Amino acid sequence: MDKEYVKELTNIEEDFAQWYTDIVLKAELADYTDTKGCIAIKPYGYAIWENIQKYTDDLFKKAGVKNVYFPILIPESLLQKEKDHVEGFAPEVAMVTEAGGEPLEEKLVVRPTSETMFSTLYSKWISSWRDLPVVYNQWCNVLRWEKETRPFLRSREFLWQEGHTIHATEKEARERTIQMLEIYAQVVEDLLAIPVLKGEKTPSEKFAGAENTYTIETLMHDGRALQSGTSHYFGQNFTKPFNIKFQNKEGKEEYGYQTSWGISTRLLGGVIMAHGDDRGLKLPPKVAPIQIVIVPVAAHKEGVVEKATELKNELEEKFRVELDLRDNYSTGYKFNYWELRGVPVRIEIGPRDIENEQCVVVRRDTLEKQVVKLDELSKKIEELLKEIQKHMYDECVERVKRKTTTATNMEEFEKNLKENQGYVKAMWCGDEACEDKIKELTGAKSRCIPFEQEHISDKCVCCGKPATTMVYWGRQY
């Protein structure tokens, strides 16, 4: 039975895209629905999102962020107030055109993002420097009518948080932009055990209406990059058309300085693709809904279920534990079942273990087994979970190293990308035409202009003209 179960999962190296879909469905993270392009997030997937939310929201609250909830429907005329913004989002919005059995006088956009709604309300509420800064966030659903969709990665509806702030000075707004990016980096690195690359998007990759867009990029198993969180500085691009003015300390009227920032359920796709392997999902202990699964061996023997239950009760005080007492599955089937679901630690306990006051502890990340004395179990597990979290992070760091190359000309660029997948570091002149050409030749886009710059050569990798910055390039999700 075991083998079959694993066999059902597509080989990760053979067909990564199908492997991904397999994991989503078989680990019961989500399922397709009758609403095309929209998924149902199932309990196991949603529990991961809840852990991300909790961790992030705690950091937000420490950073002075206040949660709110604003309408999902936005009058079409509001969306049109900022030129770049409407150009960017109009092609992918869903529209409510009738309600209560009647056609609406003005169409209502289902929010693809809420800059326009927040800006409209801010213009009403803000009048003095004393009202600033305003640092509001909402956890909500948004809709973007994508042509091609994939569970978590590109879904027509997804869950996210969107923070929107107004500040009295450019300096403060810029600082907030970076502060929130740093929080996202912490969420992804510390909670999800995925190292991030921090930097600024090139102008062509900016958010519609932003002055600057900052990003954290992560590298997946197959070497493609995933944009995992973004933070935008708007300057006065929205505060002017939306008339968000305040009286400064000198008594003069001024337009506010604005930011916005978001992470989404896309991160679940990141967790799957950064850590998974041929046996299935691999969850970092900190974010895993179930950190430990206890599988009794020869459960029909006297005392086994009792002892397993006792262990569960003990461990539950400190960890998130599941005890698998199902009587219609073999032990081997259960091992595979929980490996597929990426539970970080498995405990096996049978009659002989009980006799010897011990149990078998198996790590999901390395599949290493060890025998642990029961009176040391809780302490041992605590150490082990930390070790797994760290090891999973380190493995991803290794991958980034392995899959990052440098190039000084396009031949090298193409060769490296082909051989390594992953990131190519190369100099850029700042011209969008070179980005376009690189995209055309290699399929790679600029990921970001990293905060940590390196000097690789003097010339643009594409056109050979003098370079202004070093850019990370790569194929993306």
Q: CA end-to-end span of the chain, whole Å? A: 35
Q: Does 473 bind a copy of itself (CB under 8 A)?
A: no
What are the distances in angstroms from CA 399 to CA 263, 367, 403, 476?
23, 19, 6, 16
**Among residues 146 and 395, whose Cβ is nearest to a copy of itself?**
146
Say how far apart CA 354 and CA 18 lie, in whole Å: 42
Q: What is the CA radius of gyration of the chain?
A: 25
Which residue of 6, 13, 17, 71 would you call a contact of a copy of itself, by CB under 8 A? 71
25 near a copy of itself, judged by CB under 8 A: no
Nearest to 177 by CA among 257, 245, 118: 257
Gap between the Cα atoms of 13 and 25, Å rounded:
18
Instruction: With contacts defined by CB under 8 A, name the span among 91-99, 238-246, 377-385, 417-425 that binds a copy of itself.
Output: 91-99
Regarding beta strands 134-143 and 66-67, do their DSSP bridges make them parallel or antiparallel, or are they unpaired? parallel
Q: Which of 99, 70, 54 is nearest to 163 (CA)?
A: 70
Binding to a copy of itself (CB under 8 A) within 279-298 occurs at none
Find the binder of a copy of itself among 8, 50, 357, 394 (CB under 8 A): 50
Interface with a copy of itself includes 299 (CB under 8 A)? no
Q: Does position 400 bind a copy of itself by CB under 8 A? A: no
Strands (E) across 393-435 are located at 404-406, 423-428
Nearer to a copy of itself, 90 or 360 (CB): 90
Compute the distance between CA of residue 228 and CA of residue 163 in angstroms, rounded to an integer. Answer: 15
Interface residue with a copy of itself among 8, 11, 17, 40 (CB under 8 A) is: 40
CA distance 315 to 292: 9
Q: Tell me: does residue 62 bind a copy of itself (CB under 8 A).
A: no
Number of neighbours of residue 76 by Cβ within 10 angstroms: 19
The answer to whether 46 contacts a copy of itself (rule: CB under 8 A) is yes
Give me the residues paired with residue 289 across strands. none
Question: Among residues 8, 84, 98, 398, which is the contact residue for a copy of itself, using CB under 8 A?
Answer: 98
Nearer to a copy of itself, 216 or 293 (CB): 293
Q: Which tokens in the block code for residue 462? A: 């594409």
Site for a copy of itself in 166-205 (CB under 8 A): none
The one among 14, 101, 300, 302 contacting a copy of itself by CB under 8 A: 101
Beta carbon of residue 265, minimum distance to a copy of itself (angstroms, whole number): 8
Nearer to a copy of itself, 47 or 178 (CB): 47
Q: Shortest Cβ distance from residue 329 to a copy of itself (Å)?
A: 10
Judged on CB neighbours under 10 Å (0-12, 13-18, 19+), 418 is: exposed
Token pair in block for residue 431: 């011209």
Stretch of 139-147, 204-212, 248-256, 371-379 lying at the interface with a copy of itself (CB under 8 A)? 139-147
Which of 17, 99, 433, 441 is in the footprint of a copy of itself by CB under 8 A? 99
CA distance 214 to 180: 10
Q: How far apart are CA 472 and CA 215, in angstroms?
A: 12
Q: What residues make contact with a copy of itself under the rule CB under 8 A?
A: 31, 33-35, 38-43, 46-47, 49-50, 66-75, 78, 90-101, 108, 110, 117, 120-121, 124-125, 130, 136, 140-141, 143, 145, 147, 157, 159, 328
